């Protein structure tokens, strides 16, 4: 493979590694949107002019504040709303059209990443996203797993691109193998019915 250089903005070309046809890994320190161009000879004046933008961002701006429901069956499939800030789809596509290039995911503990969808675009303010809880492997006991978010499919791996979080989601034993929606569970909500003459008071 040829080794190329990537140009970040109008400054000097940064060092880069060719990782596949048409893909170059570039190293440069910044926290802004910059145009990303490619040169095969290390010269800025001979770089491409595609206008593709790359976003450097501070991982400290990405945070999870709460989730609902706070638990679900170990079979997975509970639709979870995640509140926080800094959520941005930094992939090149979306989960339905281009799943291999989507960037926004949730991670429950050390389980596999699950796709997430923005429910509100709050910019720097409060935001919501929705994801489905993953199934808990048979080898693991039911317990609480920290919920974190990544904007770029956890690249690089190992947690460096995941949000900090102290918010947990608790897996519990479900009555069957069907996926759970968090309703009528210890951590979801239960719909109660009552006769027309009931005017309030204790429900036993």
User: What are the sequence ranges of the domains in the chain?
Assistant: 5-55, 59-172
pLDDT of 98 above 80: no
Q: Which residues contact 150 (CB under 8 A, 6 or more apart)?
A: 62, 103, 104, 105, 107, 113, 161, 162, 163
Which pLDDT tens digit goes with each residue over 104-117?
A: 999 999 999 999 99
The pLDDT, as a whole number, for residue 84 is: 93
- Strands (DSSP E) contained in the chain are 5-8, 13-20, 23-26, 33-39, 53-55, 63-68, 71-73, 79-85, 105-108, 114-118, 127-132, 144-150, 168-172
Q: Is the model's pLDDT at 193 over the cut of 50? A: no
Joined tokens for residue 13 = 């070309």
What tokens appear for 16 in the block? 């880069």
Residue-level pLDDT at 177: 46
pTM for the whole structure: 0.63
The domain made up of 59-172 has a fold known as Immunoglobulin-like (2.60.40)
Which band of pLDDT confidence, cut at 50, 70 and 90, is reported for residue 134? very high
């Amino acid at each position: 493979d040829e080794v190329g250089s990537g140009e970040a903005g109008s400054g000097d070309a940064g060092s880069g590694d060719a990782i596949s046809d048409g893909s170059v890994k570039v190293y440069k320190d910044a926290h802004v949107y910059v145009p990303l161009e490619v040169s095969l000879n290390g010269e800025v004046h001979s770089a491409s002019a595609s206008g593709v933008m790359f976003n450097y961002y501070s991982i400290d701006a990405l945070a999870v504040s709460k989730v609902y429901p706070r638990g679900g069956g170990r079979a997975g499939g509970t639709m979870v709303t995640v509140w926080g800030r800094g959520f941005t789809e930094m992939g090149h596509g979306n989960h339905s059209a281009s799943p291999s290039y989507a960037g926004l995911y949730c991670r429950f503990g050390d389980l596999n990443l699950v796709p997430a969808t923005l429910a509100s675009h709050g910019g720097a303010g409060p935001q919501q996203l929705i994801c489905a809880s993953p199934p808990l492997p048979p080898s693991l006991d039911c317990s609480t797993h920290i919920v974190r978010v990544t904007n770029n499919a956890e690249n690089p791996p190992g947690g460096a691109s995941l949000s900090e979080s102290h918010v947990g989601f608790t897996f519990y034993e479900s009555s069957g193998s069907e996926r759970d929606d968090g309703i009528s569970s210890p951590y979801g909500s239960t719909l109660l019915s009552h006769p027309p003459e009931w005017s309030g008071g204790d429900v036993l």
